[in-house]
Amino acid sequence: MADATVARSYPFGPIHGLEIDPMYFWLQEHEPLARVKLPYGEEGWLLTRYDDVRTALGDARFSLAEAAVRDVPRLTPQRYGGILTDQDPPEHTRLRRLVAKAFTARRVEQLRGRAEQITGDLLDEMVKAGPPADLAQALAVPLPGLMICELIGVPYADRDQFRDWVGAWMSVTALTPEQRGEYIAQLAGYVAALAAQRRQTPTDDLLGALVTAQEEGDRLTEDEVVQLTLVILAAGYESTASQIVNFTYALLTHPDQLALLRSRPDLMPGAVEELMRWVPLLAVADVLPRYALADVELSGGTVRAGEPVLLAKHAANRDPRRYDDPDRLDITRDAQGELGFGHGAHHCLGAPLARMDIQTALTALLQRFPNLRLAVPESELEWKTGMAVRGPVALPIAW
Amino acid sequence: MNERWKITVDRGACLGSGVCAGTAPSHFRLDDGRSRAIREDIEPDDIVLDVANTCPAEAISVYNAAGHRLAPDTT
């Protein structure tokens, strides 16, 4: 049983690169239900074991809606959350099913050809400019951005402007709350205008489908249409871009795995699952703590009704109770069940699209560049700081 | 109301996301990482239609007594 009287200060300390603080693994072993205090909000329990994290993600006794009305443990004065992430089933399900259609594995597969074409065009430009190139700017950032534009239905002529807004909004450089609010307001205004056009002229893109759902009954308000579009952007853009960079970095620094994947392109889908498991996208626990609605028995003790839990998904994905030799990157491993995309009712809506974007990017890089390599020594890479998603600021490559 | 619905889960297509079991735990559970309907023959319940329309793998289908598929809507 954990000692409920002493709360550790969280997050633990500075981290470098894609390292995971050893404290997580100590807790996993000795204190699977660890009391923590974040800079803001009430104290909570930090979960580090795979089974516990998976239970908190997938079990309906853990609520996100409750987090919206509580003094939730958090890193910043403002709480993170909004439409979809502040709701539990069945309210959450009512909204999610309207957007889920656009993101099924089958619908996303229909976009693969388009993703390959965009990737090819971006790599053509990169080659034309010559090495070295920053993989982030050349491919990893524009590809998911353009694919989301395709899906939402942002007209071609508006895409540069749209990308600038989203880029500024997602930027890792510190924006003041006022600046951030301004960008979001501009973006929201733009999406509202695009939705208004679709009310005049229906389209078969995601925004068109949301507008139709709005018109066909009172299922969706105009504000919900805009908020759903923004949350899809916020959740799907920077994370996918960062993982394309991180996964490429991971392969380049694990030459045996890179060589294996080159010789066995059929391993790509499984390799992406394993990279999802192995690469810690977030520096800290999931930004969305859950609240227990009832007493729940976990491996380290009982979480009482009304208590919040923080989920260290990156540590859970390295739990030796679930994965043999968990720190080893092994693209032949069955990584199914990894928690990078979450689990349960809030499992990442865009997971099929993210997988397809990443598979397409990595496949093209390996096929076109037999001599792909880092253009600077690994020790010279500059890493993003702060609490946003992790990754190198830039990934200079040569070929 | 004597109408009954039938739930089928294609465990080969299932990706194990847990969306179904997390959303409607009275109807679905994960078994060995893949979804299973707790009962295949159920009283009509709209939540299973929403779940079938939310499954990322479209692995869940719901039929009415006449054998007409109610969800997912794949148009």
pLDDT tens-digit map of A272-307: 999 999 999 988 888 899 999 999 999 989 999 999
Give the pLDDT confidence score for residue A3 in this predicted structure. 52
pLDDT digits (tens, 9 = 90+) for A73-100: 998 888 878 889 999 999 899 889 888 8
Count up the domains in chain B and report the number: 1
Q: What is the pTM of this model?
A: 0.93
- Count of beta carbons in the 10 Å neighbourhood of residue B16: 18
- Count of beta carbons in the 10 Å neighbourhood of residue A373: 14
Whether chain B has a CB inside 8 Å of the CB on A321: the answer is no
CA gap A195, A266 in Å, rounded: 41
Domain-located, residue A2: no
Q: Would the CB atoms of B18 and A60 count as touching at under 8 Å?
A: no
Give the pLDDT confidence score for residue B1 in this predicted structure. 58
Q: Among the listed ranges A55-64, A355-364, B1-10, which one has the minimum average pLDDT value?
A: B1-10
Q: Which residues of B touch A104 (CB under 8 A)?
A: 55-58
The residue segments making up the domain with residue B30 are 5-65
Helix (H, G, I), strand (E, B) or coil at A101: helix
Give the pLDDT confidence score for residue A78 in this predicted structure. 81
Residue A318, domain CATH: 1.10.630.10
Domain-located, residue A1: no
User: Which of A104, A106, A228, A288 best probes binding to B when mutated, by most B CB atoms within 10 angstroms?
Assistant: A104
- Torsions phi, psi for A294 (to 5 deg): -145, 170
Q: Would the CB atoms of B53 and A101 count as touching at under 8 Å?
A: yes
Give how far Cα A170 sits from Cα of A163, A173, A238, Å: 10, 9, 7
| Closest to A83 measured CA to CA, from A189, A182, A228 | A228
Q: Which residues of B touch A105 (CB under 8 A)?
A: 15, 56-58
The residue segments making up the domain with residue A249 are 8-398
| Closest to A252 measured CA to CA, from A341, A244, A220 | A244
Residue B34, domain CATH: 3.30.70.20
Strand partners, A47: A33, A311
Domain-located, residue B75: no
What do you get for the CA distance between the two ends of chain B, in Å?
A: 29
Q: Would the CB atoms of A336 and B54 count as touching at under 8 Å?
A: no
CA distance A8 to chain B (A): 30
CA gap A80, B9 in Å, rounded: 35
Q: Would the CB atoms of B56 and A343 count as touching at under 8 Å?
A: no
Helix (H) or strand (E) holding A277, with range, is helix A268-278
| Closest to A76 measured CA to CA, from A389, A287, A308, A242 | A287
pLDDT digits (tens, 9 = 90+) for A264-273: 999 999 999 9
User: Which of B20, B50, B54, B74 best probes binding to A when mutated, by most A CB atoms within 10 angstroms?
Assistant: B54
Domain-located, residue A3: no
Mean pLDDT across the stretch A166-177? 67
In a 10 Å sphere around its CB, with 0-12 CB exposed, 13-18 middle and 19+ buried, how is residue A223 labelled?
exposed
Mean pLDDT across the stretch A37-56? 96
pLDDT digits (tens, 9 = 90+) for B31-58: 999 999 999 999 999 999 999 999 999 9
Nearest to A97 among B15, B17, B53 (CB): B53
Q: Would the CB atoms of A105 and B50 count as touching at under 8 Å?
A: no
Residue of A285 and A308 predicted with greater confidence: A308
- Count of beta carbons in the 10 Å neighbourhood of residue A65: 17
What string of DSSP letters covers A129-185? H-SSEEHIIIIITHHHHHHHHHHHT--GGGHHHHHHHHHHHH-SS---HHHHHHHHH
At position B69, the amino acid (one-letter code) is R
Give the pLDDT confidence score for residue A173 in this predicted structure. 55
CA gap A107, A70 in Å, rounded: 38
Q: Would the CB atoms of A97 and B23 count as touching at under 8 Å?
A: no
Q: Would the CB atoms of A104 and B51 count as touching at under 8 Å?
A: no
Domain-located, residue B72: no
- Residue window 233-272, chain A: list those with CB within 8 Å of chain B: none
Q: Work out the pLDDT band at A214, boundaries 50, 70, 90.
A: confident
What string of DSSP letters covers B47-61? HHHHHHHH-TT--EE
- Count of beta carbons in the 10 Å neighbourhood of residue A138: 18
Count up the domains in chain A and report the number: 1
Domain-located, residue B70: no
CA gap A204, A153 in Å, rounded: 8
* Structure tokens, A164: 């600038």
Q: What is the mean pLDDT of chain A?
A: 91
For residue B74, pLDDT over 80 is answered with no
Half-sphere exposure of residue A153: CA atoms within 13 angstroms, side-chain side = 21
Asked if B72 contacts B52 with a C-beta cutoff of 8 angstroms, the reply is: yes
| Closest alpha carbon within chain B to A96 | B54
Peptide bond before A73: cis, by omega within 30 degrees of 0?
no
Residue of A219 and A75 predicted with greater confidence: A75
pLDDT digits (tens, 9 = 90+) for A234-243: 787 889 999 9
Give the pLDDT confidence score for residue A238 in this predicted structure. 84
